[in-house]
Amino acid sequence: MKFLSMGEKVQKLRDQLNLKQEDLVSENVTRGLISMIETGRREITYKTAIKLADKFNGKAEELNIILNIDEAYLMRSPSEDAEIYCLNKLKNDDITQSSIKEIFKLIEQYDLLFVQAKTYFKIGQINEEMKNFDEACINYDKAIKLYKIMDRCEELGQVYLRMGISKGKDLKHDTAIVYFNLSQYYGFVYDDKKIQQLSLYDLSNAYFYSNKIDMALETVEKYLAISDETDPFYNFGFNIKASCYELNGDYDKAIDTYNDLLTKISDNESPILGYVYNNLGLNYSHKNDFKESLKYFEMAEKFRSELDKVNLGVTLIEKSIVYINQNLYTEAIKTIDKGLNYVIEYNNIEYLIKGYYTLENIYDKLNNLVDLENIYMKLAELLKTNNDKNNLKSLYCRIASMYLNQNKIDLCKKYLSLSNGLN
């Protein structure tokens, strides 16, 4: 891709429109000036650019040609045009590897640091979508370093936000908290309300998943204080608030919050409805009101099977609690197995782990050693893949205990050794 100098643009447009240099002459714009511009001996001033653009657009109109060039185009340098070209390419959600290679060539050719930072950010987003979270954060970090070199720190809030989201998706919530706090800081320093809202919302979620419930409540209240119904996560903020009440054991307060939220939702296809129905089911289950609990879980299941299949597995796995609390283990296992199919399909690692843990609990209660051993092996492999050493260590101890109770001493020693090896 070749980008033209100011003079090359003028000469190319003149040739395209079959104009002579004399045709561009106007007050304070002489033929000699046009010649010097075209040969690169003079740059175009703002006033001259306006007059030339008028001449070119006027001639194009006579010829029924759509041109629409302006003074900004005529005054831009090749590097500025290259930057605009690259930034427009990066806006494409379906950008290809060949386009990214082309952009890097232009970055090197024209020394486009800002474009380079934007490109690393884009690659990070692509990595994130492909669930390559470590690679995503490596590229986000490259973008951060470049923004700092350029003193473009107003861009950092967005990058730290994505780093936090990547870590959260990778279930590294404590690390996510660090990045969301940094995003929040830059959002407030540069008065970026959108970043302020998003960072506070995501930070409250991260605190919630880290079981720092008081911090989650405090943070979600800050988010709600600077947001309103026009913010896409506003209703989800109330969902976090209610979930905090649930974890604190205040089920009635959680139910009241969810019911209030239902009155605020006017869109019958809003994804928040799946969360509200699901979580009402959970809270009624905690209160041992199984009839009401099952009603809301079935509402959530129906809604998500039609409009939100990505989260259908979550509802099915959590629905099993209604059956477990009534010792209806066969129904619970069937519901979990069905849910596992969906969380595997949509790569929801968090609920895949939760589903396996729930099955472990059931098989242990039933003394079903064959299925218990099978689920232990699946869970161990999953925890190893996710490098979750703390939970893996605990799991190995439980596996060792299972084998000890079966008098399988060699296997018991093996898993105790694996557990000790994680110290």
| Predicted confidence (pLDDT) per residue in 110-150, tens digit | 999 999 999 999 999 999 999 999 999 999 999 999 999 99
Lowest-pLDDT choice from 4-8, 23-27, 386-390? 386-390
Cβ 233 vs Cβ 269: under 8 Å: no
Residue 48: partners with Cβ closer than 8 Å, 6 or more residues away: 28, 29, 33, 37
Report the C-alpha gap between 421 and 404 in whole angstroms. 19
Residue-wise pLDDT tens digits, 158-168: 999 999 999 99
Position 372 scores a pLDDT of 97
Cα angle value 14/15/20 (rounded, 5°): 60
Residue-wise pLDDT tens digits, 221-278: 999 999 998 898 999 999 899 999 999 999 999 999 999 999 988 889 998 999 999 9
- Show the tokens assigned to 236: 């989800």
Q: Is 418 helix (H, G, I), strand (E, B) or coil?
A: helix
pTM: 0.76
Position 1 scores a pLDDT of 77
Cβ 96 vs Cβ 54: under 8 Å: no
- Show the tokens assigned to 218: 């405090």
Residue-wise pLDDT tens digits, 55-109: 999 999 999 998 888 999 999 999 999 999 999 999 999 999 999 999 999 999 9
Residue 145: partners with Cβ closer than 8 Å, 6 or more residues away: none
> How many C-beta atoms surround the C-beta of residue 253 within 10 A?
16
Position 142 scores a pLDDT of 98
Residue 166: partners with Cβ closer than 8 Å, 6 or more residues away: 124, 128, 133, 136, 137, 140
DSSP string, 58-124: HHHHHTT------HHHHH--HHHHHHHHHHHHHT-TT--HHHHHHHHHHHHHHT-HHHHHHHHHHHH
Report the C-alpha gap between 368 and 363 in whole angstroms. 5
Report the C-alpha gap between 130 and 133 in whole angstroms. 8
